[in-house]
Amino acid sequence: MIAQLYALYKREVLKMLRSRYMWLMIMVQPVMWIIFFGNSLAGLPSAFLAQFFGVGSYLSYMLPGMASITVMITGMFSSASLVFDRRMGYLRRVLATPTPKAAVFLAKALGAATRGLLTVPVILAVGALLGVRYSVNPASLLLWVAALVAAGVGFAALFTALTVNTSDFHAPVVVGNFIMMPLMFTSTALFPKQFFPEWLKAISAVNPLTYLTELGRDAVTYGTPPDATAFIYLAAFSAAATAAALVLVERFLTAD
């Protein structure tokens, strides 16, 4: 199992590192977010920002949220890449070897988490270039990185589980959007929850993206000590999504 997981994960990483488009996405997407969206609230008075966002600049509030969203979106690559492998027949090649189905799926999920994780330093670097000042808490930072990996695997598992038996290229994008849109807008990734109506606050309070974002803000925006509860929540989410996906994969993952 470990040997096969290693082999398939290595394949994911090598293919990703050799794709120019992947690099373009990793490098350019953060820049576009920051330039076009990050500046949308640039005119807010800083007293207002400090009161409701807890920090004087919207960019420094938003960057951890953006990191969370990116890690979630790259989860979609896991599901898309599995559909692609099925269409290309690669899944047949793998499933005709003694490789457990779980290894096929875990390699995809870890691959997607790796992609997502690579984007985070780029986001922070672009932010720094544009004048964002970080206040870092090292313990929180470590916990955040762990949380990004856990959440990356969890989101990838969620997307992949829902497209495990299809070879339709459209499925990953459609399913992805059904999950990403609600999660993104009900989380605190982009806006604080003070202005949310009560029902939205309730959703936000169970949304893994909220916890991931808050861990990031502890780590680099506010520089506050780590919040173990948030991390435990995320780890539980990740474990549950992965477990559910493993069951579905064992049952429904076929060569074509």
- Residues binding other proteins (CB under 8 A): 3-4, 6-8, 10-11, 14-15, 18-19, 88-90, 92-99, 254-255
CB 105 within 8 A of CB 245: yes
Considering the complex, state which of residue 100 and residue 223 has its C-beta at the smaller distance from other proteins: 100
Nearer to other proteins, 15 or 133 (CB): 15
Burial of residue 131 (CB within 10 Å: 0-12, 13-18, 19+) is exposed
Q: What's the Rg (C-alpha) of the chain?
A: 19
In the complex with other proteins, the residue whose CB is nearer, 11 or 193, is 11
Q: How far is the CB of 100 from other proteins (least distance, A)?
A: 9
The nearest distance, CB 116 to other proteins, in angstroms, is: 20
> In the bound complex, what is the minimum distance in angstroms from residue 217's beta carbon to other proteins?
37
Residue 242 token pair: 């992965």
7 vs 184 by CB, closer to other proteins: 7
> How far is residue 10's CA from residue 4's CA, in Å, rounded to a whole number?
10
Distance CA 207, CA 65 (A): 13
Beta carbon of residue 59, minimum distance to other proteins (angstroms, whole number):
36
In this structure, which amino acid lies at residue 220? Answer: V
Nearest to 195 by CA among 2, 67, 53: 53
Please tell me the total number of residues recorded for the chain in this structure.
256
Shortest distance (Å) from residue 98 CB to other proteins: 5
Closer Cβ to other proteins, 47 or 96, answer by number: 96
In terms of Cβ atoms closer than 10 Å to its own Cβ (0-12, 13-18, 19+), residue 43 is: exposed
d(CA 218, CA 210): 12
Neighbour tally for 240: CB within 10 Å: 13
| Residue 6 Cβ vs other proteins, minimum distance, rounded to whole Å | 7
The residue (of 14 and 35) whose beta carbon lies closer to other proteins is: 14
